Structure 1
């Protein structure tokens, strides 16, 4: 008998998701692969939600109402960098490798391309996060450089890759 695929929905982050997103980033595996500090409070996420900045789009992935992933896409505010943005995301350990990251990234890139008109989307990713690097490459991101000793994780400095996806604009040569 075929196994049915779990239904995953996306929503814009709102007050009803605060406890779920806090729990997501409390997962050591998730916090470890981001720049988040461990043991985030709900108040931190609530303050991020209150930010009235139309250049920021925050989405959550839900399964049966529970937050299982998130992505935040931000268009740069400087005029000469307004064609570019960056994102960060996290997926609950139990849901990694099950299409949640692809679903989140696909939605964020659709917004970047068709609503924010971004030409460049960039990110940094720890060099040992092979699954994330594969995901980003699948969506057209390319390595641009290496940041050595970029962040502290588990008491040691770790390197990150700088990656970006450039979108060809209509009418460009």
Structure 2
């Protein structure tokens, strides 16, 4: 169980984190809340690490060297949508509700805002994932739509929300 005031560090995803990322997303409770397939090999994650593309940022949250969370941001490569990026994230079950998601989002949104000039950050989240939706709202994301029967989870088609954060709206408030 996490300590009352654990030291959590945020780093760029690298070769040293591949095993930890694999373990994180192979946890059935984490896999059911993200669009990753369970039982993925470390090779799948190694291939995701390989491309050198400055429009793709993958960060990990670490506690005592152990991967406890991950967030990825990918800036859209199409020229007319290059002001946009998509994010996805996962946090180990034992660390959910303890600020890890907030730390990861703050770090990746700082990169998007201050280094990549991203104006719009988009994501999709299962409509019943209230904790994640609350976290995204805390960071300025608004619901833009409902994707009905968006993905298979636990053998059923489930809905997801489309959410986005517009930088210009954050400045206005």
- Aligned-pair RMSD on alpha carbons? 1.4
Per the alignment, residue 154 of structure 1 pairs with: 154
1:63 to 2:68 alignment: no
Per the alignment, residue 76 of structure 1 pairs with: 76
**Deviations for 1:97-133, whole angstroms, at most 9, x for unmatched residues?**
0000000000010000001100000100000100000
Q: Secondary structure at the match of 1:168?
A: helix
Distance 2:64 2:19 in 1: 15
How big is the shift at 1:52? 1.3
Structure 2 unaligned regions, length at least 5: none
Q: Secondary structure at the match of 2:54?
A: coil
How big is the shift at 1:40? 1.0
* Residues paired across the two proteins, number: 169
Q: Secondary structure at the match of 2:30?
A: helix
Distance 2:74 2:39 in 1: 24
Distance 1:63 1:35 in 2: 24
Distance 2:62 2:21 in 1: 10
Per the alignment, residue 96 of structure 2 pairs with: 96
How big is the shift at 1:4? 4.8
Per the alignment, residue 113 of structure 1 pairs with: 113
Distance 2:45 2:69 in 1: 14
How big is the shift at 1:53? 1.1
Change in Cα spacing, 1:79 to 1:28, as seen in structure 2 (3 Å) is same
Distance 1:49 1:38 in 2: 18
Q: Secondary structure at the match of 1:128?
A: coil
Question: Please, what TM-score do these two structures have when normalized by structure 1?
Answer: 0.95
Per the alignment, residue 19 of structure 1 pairs with: 19
Structure 1 unaligned regions, length at least 5: none
Per the alignment, residue 50 of structure 2 pairs with: 50
Question: Please, what TM-score do these two structures have when normalized by structure 2?
Answer: 0.95
